[in-house]
Structure 1
Amino acid sequence: RLCRVRGKLKRRVWVREGDVVLVSPWDFQSDTRGDIFWRYRRNQTEWLRGHGYLKM
């Protein structure tokens, strides 16, 4: 999926390959495009995996 960083996060957050992010699909082209709303930190990702929210 092709995503863009939302305006509020654009200057504050760097997104790299392999990061876990929260994506909101667009109303149109929802199967191919979306906005990145949040990037999870490493400890947040580990917590999500430990509680069964992420299956990787």
Structure 2
Amino acid sequence: ILSVGMLSSSVFLGYAVLFSNHRARNIYLKSKVMFECTFAAFFGIAGMKILTGGIIK
């Protein structure tokens, strides 16, 4: 349990340090729409495979 807590803390601390940097934050904000569209497509495809997995064989 201690190792999971330490790992989680280090990840979130890394996020805090990364996004406190002005340049990194601007790069993320410029590419945010692309990330959201890509993840939406992947989750949409995965959802359709789950829904049609038992129907089409």
Fold match by TM threshold 0.5: no
The structure where helix makes up a greater share of residues is 2
